Amino acid sequence: MTVERWTDEEIDQVIGRLLQIGVLIASVVTLAGGAVFLVTHGHLPADFRAFRGQPAALRSVEGIIGGVFARYSPALVQLGLVLLIATPVARVALTLVAFILQRDRIYVGLTGLVLILLTYGLLWSR
Amino acid sequence: MTILLFAPLVALGAFCAGLLGALTGLGGGIVVVPMLTLGFHVNLRYAIGASLVSVIATSSGAAAAYVREGYTNVRIGIFLEVATTIGALVGAALAGLVPTSALAVLFGLVLLYTAYRSLDLPEEHIVTGHPDRWAARLRLDSTYPTPEGLRPYSVQQVPAGFSLMFVAGTLSALLGIGAGVVKVLAMDRTMHLPFKVSTTTSNFMIGVTAAASAGVYLHRGYIDPAIAAPVMIGVLLGALVGARILPGAPTRKLRLVFTVVVAVLALEMLYKGITGGL
């Protein structure tokens, strides 16, 4: 079997595995972050009636990564959630690779468009 | 209440939502937002952010199992994702402009429609050998496994299905739900996909659709770690346990319970939305 001859079924298998791994990693990071967060912030009152937004360190991928390095526990929880949001994006990226290998021009275009829209949402939107 | 008490209680509620969603096949995402707003007095925007994250978790978790069984039509999925992701980005842009009272009313209406739809099971109507121009061009027609071997199906009314999926994407972003009820309308009733193909393909797309708007909401500060994390973990565990005990569960009775719960939540959301209580 060469990579150029990937069948739809084989692609499905790889995609299924990727989604499982993504959800697993995201859950582990969220749980670990959540445990630390409960220790550092557990005593605070849980009042979420008013919408106050989030500090910059929890609102963007760069901010969150910076927050994790600064040992800011909410950022670690947020990293887990971002990894989860990124899982379907990785799935679309992998599907794009598969369609490129299959030389399926229409679907390379459609999948590329979906990937651009997702990347816009996750990295560039305001 | 402190966060130390709040987080486990939210996780427990989310667990029940995920369990019920998996056992009834109706998706638990739709009850997460009412649970958070009505039960825990969480602001609607935080609730929508947390619910979207949990929708991604259950969709990706379940899709992993479905995709390997060979029911998912990846081409239909990608093609319709163009409509749902554009819809989701439009919905996320609108969400900032729409007052929460209007969002609550819209949520109530979608809940009412879901309760109504969960009562009648649609009949399967598979079409073969009647090609749609777009389906042929995009090579959407395929086969799916049955006990008698692979069975072919032809996809119908592609433009109408595509437009409905745009609406599904917009609703998903505005309300933080998977919008499975609109996707069923598009894929079962309009495009005439076999049930197994439509449920698995729609589940496959829900994660991608929710990821588009979740990214936007992250930047707007809708995703609060103290709310979204327990919701995500709870719903995911509930869905996993639900899938495990599904064989042998009284699905019919549970659907009825689900319908009643959704109908009550619908009325309460409508009431709170109209009286401005959220």
Instruction: Give the torsion sign (CA, A11, A12, A13, A18).
Output: positive
Q: How many CB atoms lie within 10 A of CB A38?
A: 20
Give the pLDDT score at A2.
47
Walk along chain A (126 residues) in steps of 10 and give the mean pLDDT of each run. Answer: 62 81 95 96 93 92 94 95 95 92 93 97 84
d(CA A12, CA A17): 9
What counts of helices (H) and strands (E) characterise chain A? 4, 0
Q: How far is A77 from chain B (nearest CA, A)?
A: 6
CA-to-CA distance for A55 and A60, rounded, in angstroms? 10
User: For residues B268 and B272, what is the distance between their CA atoms, to the nearest angstrom?
Assistant: 6
Check whether B97 has a pLDDT greater than 90: yes
Q: What pLDDT digit, counting tens, does each position of B106-126 carry?
A: 999 999 998 888 877 667 777
A27: nearest CA partner in chain B: B233
Structural domain boundaries of chain A?
A: 8-40+56-124
The greatest distance separating any two alpha carbons of chain A, rounded to the nearest whole angstrom, comes to 58
The backbone torsions φ and ψ at residue B28, rounded to the nearest 5 degrees and listed phi first, read -85, -15
B209/A45 Cα distance (integer angstroms) = 33
CA distance B264 to B228: 24
Across the range B8-35, mean pLDDT stands at: 88
> What one-character DSSP code corresponds to residue A45?
B
For residue A93, give the amino acid letter: A
Residue B130 pLDDT exceeds 80: no
Residues 33-62 of A with CB under 8 A from B: 33-34, 37-38, 41-46, 48-54, 58-60
Sign of the torsion formed by the C-alpha atoms of B212, B214, B215 and B220: positive
Compute the distance between CA of residue B19 and CA of residue B27 in angstroms, rounded to an integer.
9
Of the candidates A13, A52, A78, the beta carbon closest to that of B225 is on A78
